[in-house]
Structure 1
């Protein structure tokens, strides 16, 4: 199946990540983790701009009470354009620094955020609740990455990039608990490493492959249904947007992350741009929002 892939913004992101669509504003945001920048793209005008420069931000979510909940390399906080981050949790947690990578909002307004450490320390996936509660969802992680939920909220999905695994869990939407972890997909690394993901309205996972230059659509049983190729090898994450949620936005990165990278063909372009591709026969589903109150 052939697709028309369009490059819509080029900020030469070192580690472009975390695309999030805001259906209220009809705006896409994304981050460059290793330069501490946040961007937005407005499809109506075709214009994109930088909206933040500061802390390294691994991920963020739209917040019902305004602004974003952000997960930086310093902690968890709330942020609005033109302001500094108002931190809720900062420093260390359970003896580990709060250096975050990918995140997502849960159906109860929770904020799921996983850590990543360049020195090889094992990471964790946390759930931060609006009432201040903090739960360790998963420990002993290499690189915490993509997170998502099935449309009926019976299943949650979670990626450990270093272990090249996409896990499925039983999900309790009332409590936000993950249980009964099992392998959904185990990849061999020859086509890259699983990174960020999103789940469409039919319950299929759209998995970005770091080093693979593609996004793979995977059915709920773990079988590949199709793949969309991009002119950059380091495809890092994916998100559906647009009025009808038929536009797939994909972030890429030009900078390598160090060890455990796939072998690269130096003649190929790594990335740094934001891409969009129309998927006419598939519709995404709206992402959840966090529900955190701003400190008085």
Structure 2
């Protein structure tokens, strides 16, 4: 299938981009990660506890289901360890061996660490590895109806090796700890608490992994034409941020240094969950989406909701996405 849309620019003539679904729909696709070495896109089907692996070469998707888990938020390859991944599911982080031949009988899941011990309703939501391979993961408090309780989550930094693995709480009282990324020089960490509808920046010490001086760099309240809440996020090669709007049928691009909205891409589905750059030249923007909140009529009207989409002809490229070193 092929779709074409106009990309709205605030200071230039609108140009066309192409938007194509590349996977079959799942309930709630999230957490995309492009693996340059294998030319594969990894993502999750959150509430079905399923990990997905899409091959750019053969356009096929493999899946691996985590038994006895209510949710899975993140899958990140481990550096220099073929077919090994860090997986964040419920409140736990695991070391997963998932062979590329998709033989589930050989797959092995090893528990590494648990966070939010006193909050059994909490779950990991989104995360990335930084330039040193440390894992940054956010949590939220999920109610039985899948709504989110306010200020129950945290942002964790997980680092170390083996028995010395530790989780450090970097920020607390977050409602929906969500998209994060760094500036090209790794002097800033960008983060989203979705319920606030704000994107914030911290001063980031690349060596120590410490953050300070939190500052709001973009507030959706200043842009009444933007609907939904900011969800997943990625930075391009120039350091601009691309953000999925959950419930807003759009992806936005912002300049974090000038705190301005640069572009808006209208999507053919309402619930966009996250984004990452990938493809052979890192020029495609992959967008995960959801059908979780849609009724039957809405699903019939937007049958590709829940698919991963590829947006091309953006005129920008992504940069290296770091693997975990744990």
Q: Indicate whether the TM-score tops 0.5.
A: yes
Q: Secondary structure at the match of 2:322?
A: coil
Q: Is the 8 A contact 1:68 1:80 kept in 2?
A: yes
Q: Which residue of 2 aligns with 1:79?
A: 96
Q: Which residue of 2 aligns with 1:230?
A: 267
Q: Secondary structure at the match of 1:256?
A: coil
Q: Which stretches in structure 2 are left out of the alignment for 5+ residues?
A: 1-14, 99-103, 144-148
Using the alignment, how far apart are the partners of 2:279 and 2:255 within structure 1? Answer: 23
2:236 to 176, 200, 221: 200
Q: Is the 8 A contact 1:232 1:268 kept in 2?
A: no
Q: How many residues align?
A: 284
Using the alignment, how far apart are the partners of 1:217 and 1:2 within structure 2? Answer: 15
Q: More helix by proportion, 1 or 2? A: 2
Give the 5 Å matches for 1:25-104.
Answer: 25-54=38-67, 55=69, 56-66=71-81, 67-81=84-98, 82=104, 83-90=107-114, 92-93=115-116, 95-97=118-120, 99-104=123-128
Cα distance per residue 1:102-126 (max 9 Å; x no partner): 0100111111111111231510000
Q: Which residue of 2 aligns with 1:3?
A: 17
Cα distance per residue 1:134-169 (max 9 Å; x no partner): 211110101110010011111110000111111111
Give the 5 Å matches for 1:147-166.
Answer: 147-166=180-199
Q: Is the 8 A contact 1:233 1:268 kept in 2?
A: no
Using the alignment, how far apart are the partners of 2:176 and 2:293 within structure 1? Answer: 14
Q: Which residue of 1 aligns with 2:307?
A: 273
- Post-superposition offset of 1:52: 3.6
Q: Which residue of 2 aligns with 1:262?
A: none
Q: Is the 8 A contact 1:248 1:279 kept in 2?
A: no
Assess, with a 3 A threshold, how the Cα gap between structure 1 residues 280 and 215 changes in structure 2: closer, same or farther: closer
Cα distance per residue 1:27-62 (max 9 Å; x no partner): 101101000111111111122222344332111212
Q: Which residue of 1 aligns with 2:37?
A: 24
2:158 to 120, 123, 128: 128
Q: Which stretches in structure 1 are left out of the alignment for 5+ residues?
A: 258-264
Q: Which residue of 2 aligns with 1:260?
A: none
Q: Secondary structure at the match of 1:2?
A: strand
Matched, 1:240 2:277: yes
Q: Secondary structure at the match of 2:262?
A: strand
- Post-superposition offset of 1:201: 0.7
Q: Is the 8 A contact 1:210 1:235 kept in 2?
A: yes
